[in-house]
Amino acid sequence: MLPEALNASLQKKISSAEHPRELVVDVMLDLQDHYGYLSDEALEAAASLLDLTPLEVEELATFYTFIYREPVGKYVIHVCDSVVCWMDGYESIQDHLCAKLEIKMGETTADGLFTLLPVCCIGYCDRSPAILVNRKVYGPLTPETLDNILVELRTEAG
């Protein structure tokens, strides 16, 4: 069940929209923030809030890069692997992350803190190699700066 407050805020947003379905990405992102990912329950909630079928929401949820249909960690790390980051050695950044977190790309650490995902050019080519952590950018990176970032995030998580 959706918490009362979240349900009310989504209802309010939707009722002020001229065409409710234009808010589908916003609604999915809000629900995802609450559940940690877009669970089946969240997907069905989105559909009923927007008067869409679950299938209509599903075809959007699985289409977009930043909607997660499977559980992810508290911090989703997107590693840019497009051409400029490639030129500047994203592969060593990716290898370092995998080694440090002891997971492969696409996996989540056992403590549920980190998920590693590849992503296409994030538009920070002046700071390559770059990554996003929960949509916040870091770069240019070296293995050393990467270690510091991981320490900071672990501290922040408590």
Partner 1 sequence: MYPRVLFKNRKPDRIASMEEYRASGGYEAMAHVLKNFSYKDVRKLMLDANLLGRGGAAFPAGRKVMTVADDAPFPRYLVCNADEMEPGTFKDRVMIHADPHMLIEGMIIEGYSARAEKGIIFIRPEYESAARILDREIEKATAAGYLGNNILDSGYDFDLVVHRSGGRYICGEVTAQLNALEGKRPNPKQPPPYATEKGLWGQPTVIQNVETLVCIPHIIRNGAEWFRNLALTETGAGTKIFCVSGKVNRPGCYELPMGIRLSDIIETHAGGMREGAQFKACLPGGASTAFLTPEFYDIEMDFETLKKAGHRLGTGAIMVFDHRTCLVAATLNLTEFFARESCGWCTPCREGFPYLRDLLWRIENGQGKEEYVSTIKQMCHHLWNAYCAFAPGGIAPIESLLTYFKDEVDAHIREKRCPFK
* Interface stretch with partner 1, choices 69-77, 79-87, 141-149, 150-158 (CB under 8 A): 79-87
Angle between helices 54-61 and 40-50 (to 10 degrees): 120
DSSP bridge pairs for 114: 75
CB of 25 to partner 1, least distance (A): 5
Does residue 54 belong to the site contacting partner 1 (CB under 8 A)? no
Residue in 128, 129, 131, 141 binding partner 1, rule: CB under 8 A: 128
Residue in 2, 6, 14, 60 binding partner 1, rule: CB under 8 A: 60
In this structure, the chain runs to a length of: 158
Tokens (6 digits) for 142: 């070296």
Does residue 21 belong to the site contacting partner 1 (CB under 8 A)? yes
Write the DSSP symbol of residue 121. Answer: -
Nearest-angstrom CA–CA distance, 49 and 34:
15
Does residue 9 belong to the site contacting partner 1 (CB under 8 A)? no
CB of 76 to partner 1, least distance (A): 11
| The 131-133 sheet, strands edge to edge | 114-119, 75-80, 131-133, 136-138
The contact set with partner 1 (CB under 8 A) reads 19, 21-26, 28-29, 50, 52, 59-60, 63-67, 81-84, 86-87, 119-126, 128, 132, 135-137
